[in-house]
Chain A
Amino acid sequence: MRAALASGGALLLGGISTGEPRGHTPEAAAAQAEAVFDMLEARLASSGGGLGDVCKITMQITDRAFRQAVYAVMGRRLLGVRPVSTGLIVNGLDDPHALFQLDAWAVPGGPHERLRPYRSTSMPYGREHQPFVAEFCMAVKAGRDVFLRGQTGMTLDGVFQGTGDPGAQARVAMANVEALLAEAGAGLADVVHATVYVTDRAWFAPVLRTVVPRFASCPVPLTALVVKGLAAPEILMEVDVRARVG
């Protein structure tokens, strides 16, 4: 896979994965993750940038059992970078032997503005505390571009709401989106694309009924996906929003 430099905009590093080493174990997933972050660093360096340019990462794994191992590697490799992150558990990746795949968006001229930085160990996800150390933030403002962490039923204060109720989780997620955009100097009218992830097709109706009317006056292109899982089993939906201040 290649990296494409968008003129004056974000560097898109997509679908980085490796099928080596083989195996279906957390150890193999961790080793693959080390190789993926080697590739990420090399690609950033070859375009004249560095890890500090990274704004958003989407971590894709095929089994929840790999999450801790892969995130521990990410936390160490991106220490101090504080990207926003979206985490997906999917049925499969491009390479049938890959256990982990990474998408990254980088904007030259880092470190950029990182809003609401936090450490994974001090912030629960769902109802559990996370057992790995990683530094993230809730929003990155890189010039005109605004990247948000994938938003869920967890409030910005770290309280998980709407257990078993995807519509209630979506209401929290959208309140977070609006609050974070405002803190980044943007609004819903600046949103250029939204992706809605649900863990069951039945959740589309309650989630989209909550999410989409918020964009009534400024319609957005939307991608809707059913995934195998999100960061924690009680998280039933996640919304990813990308904005550009007009």
Chain B
Amino acid sequence: MAHQRFRRFNTGLFYKDQDIKNEMCMAVRAGNLVFLRGQTGFTLDGGFTGVGDAAAQADQAMRNVKVLLEEAGAKMEHICKITTYITDRAFREPVYQVIGRHLGDIAPVGTGLIVSGLALPEMLVEIDVDAVIPA
């Protein structure tokens, strides 16, 4: 069976100043596995929230995660691994507090990285989520 792909979009929607126009999607469901695009301060409609505010961007990213998982037939409690990329160590505390509020007692595996940059300079945080729907 072909994998299910959710919310196909063209990258031109997000990268308005760059000549990159590609067909992508926001989520793939492969059997009981769900993979998401790295989520940021971009809303699912392509608006950017939280300029200069890493916590607000993380909050938007986690809201997107919930919507996308549910569209793919999964739930927040099915999250197995979360990778958090930030562009400055100073964002760690505010961002992790927001993520913790959204995760509650789900307790996934976590990896945290401080990187030199994300797709656009105004992005301060990106969150990658893998989920498995229990058989």
A→B interface (CB under 8 Å): 1-4, 6-9, 12-15, 60, 88, 90-94, 96, 101, 103, 144, 189-190, 192-193, 195, 201, 204-205, 208-209, 212-213, 215-216, 218-228, 242, 244, 246
Contact = CB atoms under 8 A, between A and B. Distances in A.
Given A14-B110, A216-B22, A221 B81 contact: no
10 contacts: A4-B109, A6-B33, A88-B113, A92-B113, A189-B2, A192-B35, A195-B128, A209-B20, A212-B20, A226-B117
Interface residues of B, number: 50
Contacts of B50: none
Given A14-B109, A93-B112, A93-B114, A8 B89 contact: no
A189 B2 CA distance: 8
Interface in B1-27: 1-3, 5, 8, 11, 18-20, 22-27
Nearest to A96: B89
Contacts of A222: 24, 37-38
Contacts of B110: 1, 14-15, 94
B82 to A, nearest CB: 8
Given A192-B30, A246-B1, 16 more contacts: A1-B110, A4-B109, A12-B80, A14-B81, A14-B83, A14-B111, A15-B109, A190-B3, A192-B35, A201-B121, A218-B5, A221-B25, A221-B37, A221-B38, A222-B24, A224-B38
A221 B35 contact: yes
Contact of B28 (A6, A60, A204, A221): A221
Nearest to B24: A219
A88 B83 CA distance: 14
B114 to A, nearest CB: 3
B44 to A, nearest CB: 13
A242 B81 CA distance: 14
Contacts of A201: 117, 121
B20 A12 contact: no
Contacts, number: 157
Interface string B109-133: 1111111111101000010101010
B32 interface: yes
B28 A220 contact: yes
Contact of A221 (B18, B23, B24): B24
Contacts of B92: 94
A189 B19 contact: no
Nearest to B22: A212
A226 B117 CA distance: 5
A15 B114 CA distance: 12
A91 B115 contact: yes
Nearest to A145: B33
Contacts of B31: 144, 244, 246
Contacts of A246: 1-3, 30-31
Nearest to B109: A14
A188 to B, nearest CB: 11
B132 A2 contact: no
B81 A4 contact: yes
A90 B114 contact: yes
A92 B114 contact: yes
B134 interface: yes
Nearest to B82: A14
Closest 6 CB pairs of A and B: A92-B114, A226-B117, A223-B38, A94-B112, A212-B22, A221-B37
